[in-house]
């Protein structure tokens, strides 16, 4: 019957026996439930939603295209292995971010020195008008910040997250996030001031 055929086209029966509607995007919590029941297709949807964001955050930390790709992919693999411990009552990305941040930190610890690369290789700064030297001074200043300050600078200015989102991802009070950002900006202004010849 035409009505039955139309209904069949709208619904797909997953391997785990749950129904996914084709005419709407599944909510994140619905996808996670499918993943917990063994659906790799549902996890691929989660990956496709967040892989670009994950790559750019990893790139902000490690400053190397291939390393950022490797770390972001490794993070998704690690998250898949741990997904059963994840609560679907919470958003996925803050939980995932903590896993990825730890991998970034481990990677940086293994390197004896952070290798500098031309800032033109970092897409988040492509539209800036400052000259190359100023960008390099800024990045050197960011790299010298204590990790907590560097983290909030990256999340606030390169990922455009709100203070409350940063607080959720870092598990710190909003006031602490704002304080860290204040002192980070103060140090960066001093770095730039020295470059420009100010006392």
Q: Give a yes or no: residue 149 inside a domain.
A: yes
Among the candidates 75, 94, 117, a domain finishes at 117
Q: How far is CA 140 from CA 73, 120, 157, 186, in A?
A: 27, 14, 16, 15
Q: What is the pLDDT along the chain (199 residues), one digit of tens a residue?
A: 444 443 333 333 333 344 444 445 789 999 999 999 989 899 999 999 999 999 999 988 888 888 889 999 999 999 999 998 998 888 999 999 999 999 998 888 876 444 443 433 434 444 444 457 777 777 888 888 888 888 898 888 888 888 899 998 888 898 899 998 888 888 888 877 776 655 4
What's residue 195's pLDDT? Answer: 66
Q: Tell me, yes or no, whether 113 and 157 share the same domain.
A: no
Residue given tokens 């790559």 in the structure block: 55
* HEC sequence for the chain: CHHHHHHHHHEEECCCCCEEECCCCCCHHHHHHHHHCCCHHHHHHHHHHHHHHHHHHHHHHHCCHHHHHHHHHHHHHHHHHHHHHCCCCCCHHHHHHHHHHHHHHHHHHHCCCCCCCCHHHCHHHCCCCCCHHHHHHHHHHHHHCCHHHHHHHHHHHHCCCCHHHHHHHHCCCHHHHHHHHHHHHHHHHHHHHHHHCCC
Q: Give a yes or no: residue 19 inside a domain.
A: no
pLDDT tens track for 34-80: 999 989 899 999 999 999 999 999 988 888 888 889 999 999 999 99
The tally of domains found in the chain comes to 2
Q: What is the CATH classification number for the domain harbouring 168?
A: 1.10.10.10
Q: Tell me, yes or no, whether 113 and 138 share the same domain.
A: no
Q: Tell me, yes or no, whether 159 and 192 share the same domain.
A: yes
């Amino acid at each position: 019957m035409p009505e039955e055929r139309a209904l069949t086209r709208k619904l797909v029966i997953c391997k785990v026996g749950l129904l996914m509607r084709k005419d709407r995007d599944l909510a994140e919590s619905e996808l996670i439930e499918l993943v917990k029941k063994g659906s790799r297709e549902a996890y691929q949807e989660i990956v496709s939603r967040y892989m670009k964001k994950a790559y750019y955050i990893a790139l902000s930390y490690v400053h190397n295209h291939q390393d950022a790709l490797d770390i972001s992919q490794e993070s998704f693999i690690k998250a898949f292995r741990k997904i059963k411990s994840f609560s679907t009552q919470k958003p996925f990305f803050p939980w995932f971010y903590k896993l990825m941040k730890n991998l970034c930190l481990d990677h940086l610890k293994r390197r004896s020195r952070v290798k500098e690369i031309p800032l033109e290789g970092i897409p988040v700064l492509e539209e800036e008008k400052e000259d190359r030297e100023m960008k390099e001074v800024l990045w050197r200043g960011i790299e010298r910040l204590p990790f907590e300050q560097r983290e909030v600078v990256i999340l606030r200015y390169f990922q455009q997250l709100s203070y409350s989102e940063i607080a959720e991802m870092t598990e710190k009070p909003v006031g602490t996030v704002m304080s860290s950002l204040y002192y980070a900006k103060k140090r960066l202004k001093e770095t730039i001031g020295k470059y420009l010849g100010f006392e």
